[in-house]
Amino acid sequence: MTLRAVKNCFGILCILAASLGAQAPAATDTAKPAASLDQPATEAYRLEPGDTIEARFFFNPELNDTVQIRPDGRISMQLVGELELGGKTIAEAVRIVQDAYARELQTPRVTLQVRSFAGRKVYVTGEVNRPGVVSLPGEMSVMGAIADAGGVRLTGNRKQVVLVRKGPDGLPVMKPLTLLAKGKLAPDAYLQLRAYDILLVPETRITRMDRWVEQYIKGLNPVNLSAGFTYLINKSSTGGLPF
């Protein structure tokens, strides 16, 4: 599979994702340098719908509670009612909770801990035995995700895959990864995945582009694309891609 063919496929993926109705803000800053997959993930974690958080009050333990963030990004807490925490960092969420309880408590000191992460997942598709979402509870390499997806089929390319990742500017970045070199695992095989990464495992040889679209791209679940994978359509409305 040539790099041009992969780029063409990814362009079709973006258009199809947009047609599913997913919404994402368009990038307006054209002066930023191109994103790189090698840049470290230093941004603080932001709470997402489905995350379960535990609130512990230092001076009012009777208010301790464990709640799950609803699809609208909100939670319900005793005394103060509805609070919007979706998209906030832990530090921001702590300030929101303490400010809300400042009207009810003399010393509203609170800590928040995430007990489960709803959005920690990657998508593995193409020539694997069980294409779909793979949970990402902690660290996981490219080879680990492929193994969790049932391994590469006999018709799959065992030497090269394609990684799609959300860059620091919010745009998708695509890169071919070499898994095997001279009969040994290459460094790319040990690359650590991040939430909402997409791995495409191609056939050993692609002879028809429409078959690639039918087997891989159209097989993506609209429910998954409407969640954290919406960065795929950031540039589709203008017909351009960031690579």
DSSP track, 52-96: EEEEEESS-GGG-EEEE--TTSEEEETTTEEEE-TT-BHHHHHHH
What is the arithmetic mean of pLDDT over 133-141?
82
Average pLDDT, whole number, for the chain?
Answer: 76
Rounded percentage of the chain residues whose pLDDT exceeds 90? 37
* Chain centre distance of CA 9: 20
Separation CA 173–CA 180 (nearest Å): 22
Same domain for 211 and 112: no
pLDDT band at 132 (very low <50, low <70, confident <90, very high): confident
Same domain for 63 and 134: no
Same domain for 95 and 144: no
Separation CA 196–CA 117 (nearest Å): 13
Same domain for 186 and 156: yes
CATH number at residue 142: 3.10.560.10
Domain end, chosen from 99, 116, 133, is at 116
Same domain for 170 and 208: yes
Q: For 179-213, what is each residue's pLDDT tens digit?
A: 998 889 999 999 999 888 989 898 876 544 445 54
pLDDT band at 157 (very low <50, low <70, confident <90, very high): confident
Q: Is 182 helix (H, G, I), strand (E, B) or coil?
A: coil
Beta strand extents in the chain (DSSP E only): 52-57, 65-68, 74-77, 81-84, 110-116, 121-126, 132-135, 160-166, 172-178, 180-181, 184-185, 198-201
Q: Which residue has the higher pLDDT, 239 or 142?
A: 142
Neighbours of 176 (CB within 10 A): 15
Q: What pLDDT does 234 receive?
A: 52
Same domain for 224 and 148: yes
Burial of 153 (C-beta count, 10 Å sphere; 0-12/13-18/19+): middle
Burial state string for 86-114 with b = 16 or more CB within 10 A and e = fewer than 16: bebebeebbebbbebbeeebeebebebeb
CATH number at residue 111: 3.30.1950.10
Is residue 62 domain-resident? Answer: yes
Same domain for 102 and 134: no
Rounded percentage of the chain residues whose pLDDT exceeds 70? 66
Same domain for 210 and 169: yes
Strand partners, 68: 52
Is residue 169 domain-resident? Answer: yes
Measured CA distances, 163 to 78, 106, 126, 189, 200 (Å)? 44, 51, 12, 11, 6
Same domain for 128 and 106: no
Is residue 42 domain-resident? Answer: no
Q: Which amino acid is at 122?
A: V
Q: Which residue has the higher pLDDT, 118 or 36?
A: 118
Same domain for 66 and 155: no
Separation CA 224–CA 197 (nearest Å): 12
Q: What pLDDT does 143 receive?
A: 93
Q: How many domains does the chain have?
A: 2
Q: Which pTM does this prediction carry?
A: 0.54
Q: What pLDDT does 203 receive?
A: 83
Same domain for 142 and 109: no
pLDDT band at 19 (very low <50, low <70, confident <90, very high): very low
Q: What pLDDT does 25 receive?
A: 37
Domain end, chosen from 68, 93, 116, is at 116
* Distance in angstroms between the alpha carbons of the first and the last residue of the chain: 18
**What's the full length of the chain, in residues?**
243
Name the DSSP class of 192: B
Q: Which residue has the higher pLDDT, 228 or 234?
A: 228
Same domain for 230 and 133: yes
Is residue 65 domain-resident? Answer: yes
- Of the listed ranges 14-28, 148-162, 208-222, the one predicted with least confidence: 14-28
Is residue 168 domain-resident? Answer: yes
Inform me whether the pLDDT recorded for 106 exceeds 70: yes
> Which residues span the domain enclosing 77?
52-116
What is the arithmetic mean of pLDDT over 10-24?
42
Is residue 17 domain-resident? Answer: yes
Domain end, chosen from 72, 89, 116, is at 116
